[in-house]
Amino acid sequence: MLDKEVGGRAPRAKDGGQTPRVDGPPLADTPEARGLTPTSTTIRFTVNGEPVAVSTDPFASLANTLRDRLGLTGTKIGCDAGDCGACTVLIDGRQACACLTSTGQAEGAEICTVEGSGPDGLTERLRRAFLAHGAAQCGICTPGMLMAAVDCLSRTQAPTRAEVEDALGGVLCRCTGYIKIVEAVLEVAGGVRPCGSDPRAQQRSERGVRPAGSDPFVGARLARVDGWAKVTGADKFGADEAPDGALHMRVVRSPHARATFALGDLDAVVARTPGLAAILTHRDIPGENSFGVFAHTRDQPVLAECHVRFRGEAVLALVGTREAVEALSDADLPVTWTVETPLIGVETAVAPGAPAVHAGKPDNVLAQGFLQCGDVDAARPAAAAIAEGRFETAFVEHAYIEPEAGYAQLCGDKVEVACCTQAPYMDREETARVLGVEPAKVRIKPTACGGGFGGKLDVSVQPLLAVAAQVTGKPVRIVYTRTESMASTTKRHPAKLWARACADAQGRLVSYELEGDFNTGAYASWGPTVAGRVPVHGSGPYKVPNVRNRARAIYTNETPAGAFRGFGVPQAAIAHETLLDDLAGQLSLDRWHIRRINAIGNGDTTPSGQRIDHSAGLPQCLDSLKADWDAALHRVAAFNDSCESAGGRRRRGVGIGCMWYGCGNTSVANPSTMRVTLGRDGRLTFYNGAVDIGQGSSTVLLQIAADALGLAPERFDMVVGDTDLTFDAGKTSASRQTYVSGNAARLAGADLRAKILMLANAGSNAALSLDGTRLTIADGEASRTVDLATLPADAQGMVLEGLGTWDPPATALDAHGQGSPYGTYGFAAQMAEVEVDMRLGTVKVLSIVAAHDVGRAVNPALTEGQIHGGIAQGLGLALMEEYLPGRTENLHDYLIPTVGDMPDIKIHLIEDAEPTGPFGAKGVGEPALIATPPAILGAIRHATGVTVRQVPVLPHRLWAALRGARPLAQTDRQKSDVGGEGSDPAPREGAS
Ligand code: FES
Ligand code: FES
């Protein structure tokens, strides 16, 4: 029996009521503010069959009791408000949110968590199925999903897909698109053993010998190497552990979007508050009080200095016991505010006379990007068709289920920071600058990362934790609340775009122009990257001889916008794909056809002047969709005819979107270095600095390294992301890890292989095998065995090492955006079929068919998972996601797709091998999302006649537009726009 000490603790602050305005109340909430007074009592229940008695505040949430008092951190907390389902456990056999259940309510109950085996071993069977299907990506939702699935299968013997989806409906997943989760549950429901029913055993099977000249691991659907920890709840995320005695930190944030402030006597607050160790201000920052992505744009203070630029900006940090920092209300702190009128929206920020957000940028323009080729003005008059329009997109929240969290502690003369991150080396640099020390004095130890999607590229908790640990001399931890996470971290840039496309009579693009303003919010973050990437990609994956694209990143007093899966390219894709549909309509061309005749292919030249004489599989992607496209057109026509004749209110449509995306950072060096060592004990260790944020890089890079070396993946130990132990692999972003770090892993494996072969004087096709410390090199008839234990080793016991460094071939862009900004590009074409309720303005996406050129699918299961997840996020961007500061700062008001929102998805993997890629591979992370929104918008237009130029297409927006447009036959469309100006007739299909 576990019987924990008495020690009542107040429940964690929950998301408070949201106030629908930019200036709002304090972002913190406290037990006292909610009238709660902690008391303790002993509560008895069973957990996974074990009786426990816990002395605690009966109002403490069951989630906190399980995690903090019983050490069962497999139960995750994503929102603490009943919205995300990450905390789902079984209470007397029924799924329930442990964050909404008081510990007192659990008295006498049987609690089942992810750590248990579940009724009849159901959890165990589901675990294996999840692994075999690739149903866990980052894994933060996985415990909740497993518990919901156990609930479903223990009550329903042979559930339908709808029943499974219903059971999982309360658990949000931001990574997977739910498809593989549902498949895994259905497989267990059907009693079918998942292929390779024990994926660990599957990996450890007969793969110890590498057949010469083959690549057996690249291309295999291996279960993810970090998967078992995710499906057992053993994986440690940022909030899951901290050193004993760690103090807690709570950040006090600005309730105003633009204000100056003065601080009163904070020492007096510390003196009168038991348990409060310190209140940190900007004066406590020992080094530079700033952070950012680029050396010239480090404009965000760690703690504001008398002036705040957005609601949610960090002003103070309270450090002390958890009770102390949570009990102290923001209203108790002596901060005097002088509120100023904020700049909201890019038009306000660039209007004449607008005040500057930053002193050095009087026009509020952070950065501009430009690309020009040919002469658009000369080409336009001869065009047979001209389409133009304005487009608008919203702030989009990453909504990873794991809020930012971590801890810092002093270790000798170093500060060690453990946190969820996408960029450990950048964290190290920024933290060291803030501390005023050399980077070598900071160690970043990435925890498991519960989703990132670009949002965990910028530092968040890291510098403040380090400062707090240094000031107090004690370990300090922090877990952002959901509201705090959403209010203070970066978003997708809202964009206002104008674009014009011209085509000849055959539909061939002759020119394209784009002007885009991207709202970068109060601080620079990745604004320069967006401004640079958009002009390159702005005209889409098409052959266009005359292009003039310009993009600006503009400061406002809104939440900083940063990196989010695509760096502005998804916004630009909405414009170019809508205009392509417009042109098709004007020229009576099929929408598939106009894309096919314009698609960039091998040997073509991009608008930046880069000749693509390597992988360019868009034509193949489109060809793979053609049969689906034709069938869908006939299907929706038949549906609409029958619906119309029956007086129905539903109409269906089909749309298509294409995309391209340069893999890696734009026009700059972004190398990666990997290391593989062989020890005297026969252990191989893969030192991999690329953080796996759920996409599967740890598995994919290991597959590549294993193939290059010629020994099986299960022989390797993994060290991932630790800045003291691994080399810099660059950031996990820009779809670069498979392509860039994959090459580094390939080179490291090959380097070690070459050294091993040299030991035996063996030829390059020799086969390696490892049995304990005995390494055998078989070269044809000859075979030599080396006992590694007899070889000289370094202090760590290493006898041989392989190193690999690779930097993608990219060149700088000139003033006209000419050059080769990327080593390669990912391409995709997706089609969507939707059903619109013409009375309500609601849209249901019925199906997506996605064709992606990935060069080589190193692990097809993981590749498919990336595409599923990208489609889910694209669907959210198109139809439901709109972050409004002060209004949608929680997962109740900010909606992301649930399992019930997901369409059927069919994937065509196109493998147009990239010569510079590892085994031909390219990236797929961002490409997975970009084509989805325009495909959905095209389908809505096809169904309704309404041209949508503003996302998200919320029901009230479409409803209003439909009131101005009668539902028309597919060949007789009426002009109508949502959120934009001007429209052209919708295309007639079947012309090709
Ligand atoms: S943590 Fe309980 S529902 Fe989100
Ligand atoms: S795997 Fe579901 S949130 Fe990441």
What are the tens digits of pLDDT across the range 912-921? Answer: 999 999 999 9
**Cα of 848 to ligand 2 centre, how many Å?**
21
**Cα of 898 to ligand 1 centre, how many Å?**
14
Length of the chain: 992
Q: How many Å apart are CA 386 and CA 380, to the nearest integer?
A: 8
**Cα of 84 to ligand 1 centre, how many Å?**
5
Choose between 219 and 970: higher pLDDT: 219
Indicate the pLDDT class of residue 191, thresholds 50, 70 and 90.
Answer: low
131 lines ligand 1 (CB under 6 A): no
**Cα of 868 to ligand 2 centre, how many Å?**
12
pLDDT of residue 989: 58
For residue 768, what are the CA distances in angstroms to 682, 753, 783? 13, 9, 10
Q: How many Å apart are CA 285 and CA 817, to the nearest integer?
A: 40
Choose between 372 and 38: higher pLDDT: 372
Choose between 885 and 196: higher pLDDT: 885
Ligand located closest to 89 CA: 1
Buried b (16+ CB within 10 A) or exposed e, 543-556: bbbbbbbbbbbbbb
Q: How many Å apart are CA 923 and CA 925, to the nearest integer?
A: 6
Q: How many Å apart are CA 948 and CA 655, to the nearest integer?
A: 12
CB 173 within 8 A of CB 85: no
Residue nearest to atom 2 of ligand 2 (CA): 173
pLDDT of residue 17: 30
Ligand located closest to 86 CA: 1
Residue nearest to atom 3 of ligand 2 (CA): 173
Q: Name the pairing type of β-strands 509-521 and 546-555.
A: parallel
84 lines ligand 1 (CB under 6 A): yes
Q: What is the pLDDT of residues 721-734, one digit of tens each?
A: 999 999 999 988 87
Q: Say which residues have a Cβ less than 8 Å from residue 790's Cβ, sequence separation at least 6.
A: none
Look-up of token digits 């944030």: 253
CB 485 within 8 A of CB 430: no
Q: What is the dihedral of CA 361, 363, 364, 365, to 10 degrees?
A: -90
The residue-averaged pLDDT of 618-644 equals: 96
CB 510 within 8 A of CB 383: yes
138 lines ligand 2 (CB under 6 A): yes
CB 504 within 8 A of CB 598: no
Identity of the amino acid at 416: E
Whether the predicted pLDDT of 18 surpasses 80: no
User: How many Cβ atoms from other residues are within 10 Å of residue 23's Cβ?
Assistant: 17
What atom in ligand 2 is closest to the CA of residue 450?
A: 4
**Cα of 695 to ligand 2 centre, how many Å?**
10
User: How many Cβ atoms from other residues are within 10 Å of residue 358's Cβ?
Assistant: 15
Whether the predicted pLDDT of 195 surpasses 70: no
**Cα of 404 to ligand 1 centre, how many Å?**
15
Look-up of token digits 């999302």: 929
Mutating to test ligand 2, I would choose from 76, 77, 114, 138 the residue with most ligand atoms within 8 A of its C-beta, which is: 138
What atom in ligand 2 is closest to the CA of residue 401?
A: 3
610 lines ligand 2 (CB under 6 A): no
In this structure, what token pair is assigned to residue 742?
């994959």
Indicate the pLDDT class of residue 200, thresholds 50, 70 and 90.
Answer: very low
Q: What is the pLDDT of residues 744-794, one digit of tens each?
A: 999 999 999 999 999 999 999 999 999 999 999 999 989 999 999 999 999
140 lines ligand 2 (CB under 6 A): yes
Indicate the pLDDT class of residue 964, thresholds 50, 70 and 90.
Answer: confident
168 lines ligand 2 (CB under 6 A): no
Ligand located closest to 891 CA: 1
What atom in ligand 2 is closest to the CA of residue 145?
A: 2
pTM of the model: 0.92
pLDDT of residue 106: 97
85 lines ligand 1 (CB under 6 A): yes
pLDDT of residue 983: 39
The mean-pLDDT minimum among 32-46, 325-339, 520-534, 627-641 falls in: 32-46
pLDDT of residue 19: 27
In this structure, what token pair is assigned to residue 112?
């089942």
pLDDT of residue 357: 98
80 lines ligand 1 (CB under 6 A): yes
Ligand located closest to 180 CA: 2
Q: How many Å apart are CA 854 and CA 518, to the nearest integer?
A: 29
401 lines ligand 2 (CB under 6 A): yes
15 lines ligand 1 (CB under 6 A): no
Q: What is the pLDDT of residues 460-494, one digit of tens each?
A: 999 999 999 999 999 999 999 999 999 999 999 99
Q: Name the pairing type of β-strands 476-479 and 825-837.
A: unpaired
83 lines ligand 1 (CB under 6 A): yes
**Cα of 398 to ligand 2 centre, how many Å?**
12
Residue nearest to atom 3 of ligand 1 (CA): 82
Q: What is the pLDDT of residues 266-294, one digit of tens each?
A: 999 999 999 999 999 999 999 999 999 99
Percent of the chain residues past pLDDT 70, beyond the cut: 91
139 lines ligand 2 (CB under 6 A): yes
Identity of the amino acid at 566: G
Indicate the pLDDT class of residue 968, thresholds 50, 70 and 90.
Answer: very low
Q: Average per-residue pLDDT in the chain? A: 91
The residue-averaged pLDDT of 236-264 equals: 98
Cis preceding linkage at 952, omega within 30? yes
The residue-averaged pLDDT of 844-858 equals: 98
The residue-averaged pLDDT of 311-317 equals: 98
**Cα of 694 to ligand 2 centre, how many Å?**
7
